[in-house]
Structure 1
Amino acid sequence: MKQEKSVWMHIGSGSFHRAHQAWYLHRLIKQGDDSWYIALGNIRNDANALLNQLAKQHGEYVLETVSPEGDREYETITSIKKILPWDEKLSSLVLQGSDVNTKVIAFTVTEAGYYLTPEHQLDLSQADIQADLKGSASTIYGALEKILTARVEAHGKPVTLLNCDNLRHNGERFRAGFLAFLKQKGNNSLEQWVEKNTTSPNTMVDRITPRPTADIAERVKAATGIDDKVPVMGESFIQWVIEDDFINGRPALEKVDVEMVKSVLPWEEAKIRILNASHSCIAWAGTLIGLNYIDEGTHNKAIHKMAFDYVTENVIPCLTPSPLDLAKYRDVVLQRFGNPYIKDTNQRVAADGLSKIPGMITPTLIESYQKKITPEATALLPALFFVYFQKWAQGKLPYTYQDGVLDEVNHKKMMLASDALTQFVSSETLFATLANSADFHQLMKKAVDKVNTWVNANS
């Protein structure tokens, strides 16, 4: 009797999943282990065109990778065997998620998609959360409630719920948010089932994946002869660290260089603070002086120094001791950012600053003060965002700023006020306990003055 294949259902059909997790499972299939495949869908209707095109291509597409030296490689990814078309009821996701062969439900919804407060609690004031509590399914919580309710009714087999985002402690914080959502909704039976029949391993994911542009398709056609309408591009560097806590089996990911560990904490902290925060620093700074791409900003001496000093003076002392060589990691990260062939846009990396400051930057500010270090280098990052955000409020950014928690009316009002900086720094959502620190307010005033002086001299 032929054994049924196991299904890895992935929610979130963006470029990152297709350049990262799908690539790892594709490598496993290439090694001869085809016991798992991916079923791919989306919670919202903003990826319908992509999903429709992927369906026409039977889930296959070409991944172009490029090294800092400009070496390009092309590979047809074959791990996505099933496309789950979108409808308002999420019918395909519910059907697939309740299938007994679906043993992992993974998702990339970005940091803002978890709707958490600075204290990492579910933010019940968010309109999307309120809508889902009333029966909608526009967030990961509302979608999973529908999916897992159907799963319990069908057979009740356990399933692993796996984050693939840059949220710190992503598994445990997602899990707390989801259980809080179910409790708030009064769905006690599903809440109890989730506690006993699911696990949520923490993970760390890494590969720079810019938004695809038309010239990728042209290069793919020239190099491979394949007329791919939905190719993706990524840097040659890739990493995936996962806590080995799967409740109903998993692919043999260790055979394709996924690091299966007991705790992802050291890797996670290094990546979020050194890579993600520096990335945003370069994007905000580059935008302010008229640059378009991350590699341009990385090769600008002043911007490179801002990122380098931030890591060296504040992050490394906060994260020491570490099993990683943090200085080496810093240098590798900046080399990756300087890759002139990736053409990652400042617009993409600058997005979601209102979530990135509390998640990626504020912990280093707080811990520096605890270590009796004045975090002058780190303060420049939120100062860059403040000046950047003021440009947004004034309508002076060269592109549309995208942020999952942006309240356009109130944020614009705040950033155009005469005491904008005081309001900004006084936000406990952004800066936690530092919002009430006179020393921090003074530090931020100096940092913003420094940024404005630099911007005026270079733009």
Structure 2
Amino acid sequence: MQTTAHVSPNPHSYWLHLGAGAFHRAHQSWYLNQLHQLGDTRWTLALGNIRNSASQATLDQLGKQQGVYTLEVISPDGEIDYQTITAIKTVIPWDAELEQLISVGCDPQTKLISFTVTEGGYFLKDDGHLDLKHPVIIQELTDPSNIATIYGVLVAILRRRMATQAGPVTLLNCDNLRHNGDCLRTGLNDYIAALDEKALAAWCENSISTPNSMVDRITPKSDDALQERLIEQGIHNDNVPVACEAFSQWVIEDDFIAGRPELERVGVEFVDDVIPFEEAKIRVLNASHSGIAWAGSLLGHQSIDESLTPQVREWIRQYVAQDVVAALPQGSIDLNTYCTTTLHRFSNAKVRDTNQRVSSDSIAKLQQFILPTLKTRYQQGDVPKATLVLVALWYLFMQRRAAGTLPFEYQDRALESVPFATIFAQEDSVKAFAQSPALMGTLAEHPTFTEDLRNAVKDVEKTLGDS
């Protein structure tokens, strides 16, 4: 572990975040804002986007508002608190070459670079290494001037930091990936190796740290109703508000090579090992969230809280009680209690998250959140029937997509990597689905997995038909 400097080494240090989505503004930015309210303003946030994506309009408007926005915080009992967030001091306009973003990233005062690019934005294979055959990665390696991934922008920043002797920097992954800091480092190392930049690889060995972290706060997509509530509160000058639940958690391995804000003062947990926290969260909360979205979509519901029918709740409880508890070593976290708390949070109708948003990027979510439990239970010699229900729900969800009968447009940046049209054109589409290495990795070769999934699909179809 790197030596950690807990306070800023300079009177003012910059923290650059990549990804102007709602979650960052409800989570990381909110924590720093809390610290500023305590009078510690030694760190300030800069915010920018890698791609000219849907969140670009948000970033542009945020720039017009000089980084200031309203956060609507909703308690489980429905009580609402409106907070003004002012932690973002620099909003970086997007340009095709990302020159302004890279310039901020290589500033010697920038000591921390965090990012939220979703689970699908890391292009990792089943073995955890970078998929160098993915079309997006191939295109970027072929034309490095056309940056589209977290690796491309980080390499551009790190290359310039090395050349200008800007000093070390911490790269903080804030996405829902197991061992997310390690994942980023492996993918980044593979990317640099593919570029054959040996000097940069050697510099990174001693000049970056990549702590693992776990983040948690339900943050639904903003809608017109949020704007109407702000107007009722007399707030008329905010076009980019964010709503979130009151619950928030952030656990980080204390491995910051260039200093960090004293976020422990506002509830961030700094630990030696984040694994117990992230495993509980990923396998219980994240996997359940996806399963509920798939089930709810099949039942014709639009939101997560509406999707929590008694049957769906039972599927989730059985998944945790039968398989997650057995797959994870016994620790200090009571997983069944955690599951109950999670379902209570999901049922909050005033934090209305859509099945469309939660189900997006499900290829990566299946692989990150659900397949590890399947693999462990098979290795233990058991058939993970409760977890297979979740996979069956996604099979039926994607079958509906192939038929054009989903109630919304499904979005997934990894769609090109899986031949869904071919899979669902097969007479035995369950077999084609189960035995697709692009989806299931090594599970595709398991001797009973296909038939186990087929049985689960039949059971789920019957249950849904009886609903």
TM-score (norm 2): 0.95
Deviates more, 1:141-150 or 1:105-114: 141-150
**Is 1:354 the equivalent of 2:358?**
no
- Whether contact under 8 Å (1:50, 1:230) holds in the other structure is yes
Matched to 1:91, the amino acid is E
**Amino acid aligned to 1:127:** P
Are 2:229 and 1:222 equivalent residues in the alignment?
no
Q: TM-score, normalised by structure 1?
A: 0.97
8 Å contact kept, 1:182–1:190: yes
Q: CA deviation at 1:408?
A: 8.5
1:19 & 1:321 partners in 2: Cα distance? Answer: 32
Question: Which residue of the partner structure matches residue 212 of structure 1?
Answer: 222
For the Cα contact (< 8 Å) 1:74–1:224, is it kept in 2? Answer: no
> Which whole-Å deviations, capped at 9, do the CAs of 1:69-118 have from their partners, x for residues lacking one?
11111101110000011111101111101111100011001111000001
Q: Residue 180 of structure 1 aligns to which amino acid in structure 2? A: D
Q: Matched residues in 1 for 2:417 and 2:434: separation?
A: 18
Q: Does 1:407 align with 2:430?
A: no
Q: Which residue of 1 aligns with 2:19?
A: 12
Of 330, 333, 342, 1:324 maps to 333
Distance in 1 between the 2:417 and 2:329 partners?
A: 39
1:65 & 1:224 partners in 2: Cα distance?
16
Distance 2:219 2:340 in 1: 19
The residue that corresponds to 2:290 in the other structure is 280
2:176 to 156, 161, 166: 166
The alignment status of 1:398 with 2:407, answered yes or no, reads: yes
1:44 alignment partner in structure 2: 51
| Residue 257 (structure 1) aligned to one of 246, 251, 267 | 267
Task: Answer yes or no: is 1:112 the counterpart of 2:120.
Answer: yes
Residue in 1 that maps onto 2:246: 236
Q: Give 1:103's aligned amino acid.
A: K
Instruction: Select 2:82's aligned residue among 53, 74, 82.
Output: 74
* Larger CA deviation: 314-323 vs 390-399: 314-323
In structure 1, what is the equivalent of residue 185 of structure 2?
175
Q: Tell me the equivalent position of 2:68.
A: 60
The 8 Å contact of residues 221 and 228 in structure 1, kept in 2 or not, is answered as: no
Are 1:141 and 2:179 an aligned pair? no
What's the secondary structure of 1:137's corresponding residue? coil
Paired residues of 1:241 and 1:261 also in contact (CA < 8 A): yes
User: Does the CA-based 8 Å contact 1:286-1:297 persist in structure 2?
Assistant: yes
Report SS of the residue matched to 2:415. Answer: coil
Partners of 1:368 and 1:57 lie apart in 2 by: 51
Equivalent residue for 1:312, pick from 295, 306, 321: 321
Q: Whole-Å Cα distance in 2 between the matches of residues 408 and 288 of structure 1? A: 24
Q: Contact 1:4–1:101 at 8 Å: present in 2 too?
A: no
Q: Report how far residue 409 of structure 1 moved.
A: 8.6
Task: Evaluate the alpha carbon distance shift between residue 157 and residue 329 of structure 1 in structure 2; reply closer, same or farther with a 3 A threshold.
Answer: same
User: 1:297–1:304: 8 Å Cα contact kept in structure 2?
Assistant: no
Question: Using the alignment, how far apart are the partners of 1:281 and 1:446 within structure 2?
Answer: 18
Which of the numbers 187, 196, 208 marks the counterpart of 1:198? 208
User: Structure 1 residues 21, 409: CA separation in 2 closer, same or farther (over 3 Å shift)?
Assistant: closer
Q: Which one-letter code corresponds to 1:436 in the other structure?
A: E
Count of aligned pairs between the two proteins: 455
Identity score, percent: 45
Q: How much does 1:155 deviate?
A: 2.2
What amino acid maps onto 1:26 in structure 2? N
Q: Following TM superposition, by how much is the alpha carbon of 1:4 offset from its aligned partner in structure 2, in angstroms?
A: 4.3
Letter in 2 for 1:253: L
Give the Cα separation in 1 of the matches to 2:311 and 2:269: 35
Moved more, 359-368 or 198-207: 359-368
The amino acid that maps onto 1:346 is: N
Local SS of the residue matching 1:407: helix
Q: Mark the runs of 5 or more structure 2 residues left unpaired by the alignment.
A: 1-9
Q: Which amino acid aligns with 2:63?
A: A
Q: Which of these residues, 21, 35, 54, is aligned with residue 42 of structure 2?
A: 35
Structure 1 gaps of 5+ residues are none
* 2:440 counterpart residue number: 431
Cα separation, partners in 2 of 1:35 and 1:127, compared to 1, 3 Å: same
**Which shifted more, 433-442 or 343-352?**
433-442
**Alpha-carbon deviation of 1:224?**
4.3
The answer to whether 1:92 aligns with 2:92 is no
Aligned residue identity for 2:216: D
Structure 1 residue 287, shift from structure 2 partner: 0.3
SS at match of 1:153: helix
Q: Do the aligned residues in 1 keep the contact of 2:74 with 2:245 (CA within 8 Å)?
A: yes
Q: What is the rounded CA distance, in whole Å, between the counterparts of 2:316 and 2:346 in structure 1? A: 11
1:245 aligned partner? 255
Give the conservation status (yes or no) of the 8 Å contact 1:358–1:429. Answer: no
CA contact (8 A) 1:149 1:190 kept: yes
Aligned residue number for residue 389 of structure 1: 398
Q: Is the 8 A contact 2:126 2:442 kept in 1?
A: no
Give the aligned partner of residue 83 of structure 1: 91
- Tell me if structure 2 keeps the 8 A contact 1:390–1:416: no
Q: Give secondary structure in 2 for the equivalent of 1:233.
A: strand
Structure 1's 224 and 153: CA in aligned 2 closer, same or farther, altered over 3 A? Answer: farther
CA distance in 1, matches of 2:235, 2:103: 36
- For 1:184, the aligned partner's letter is A
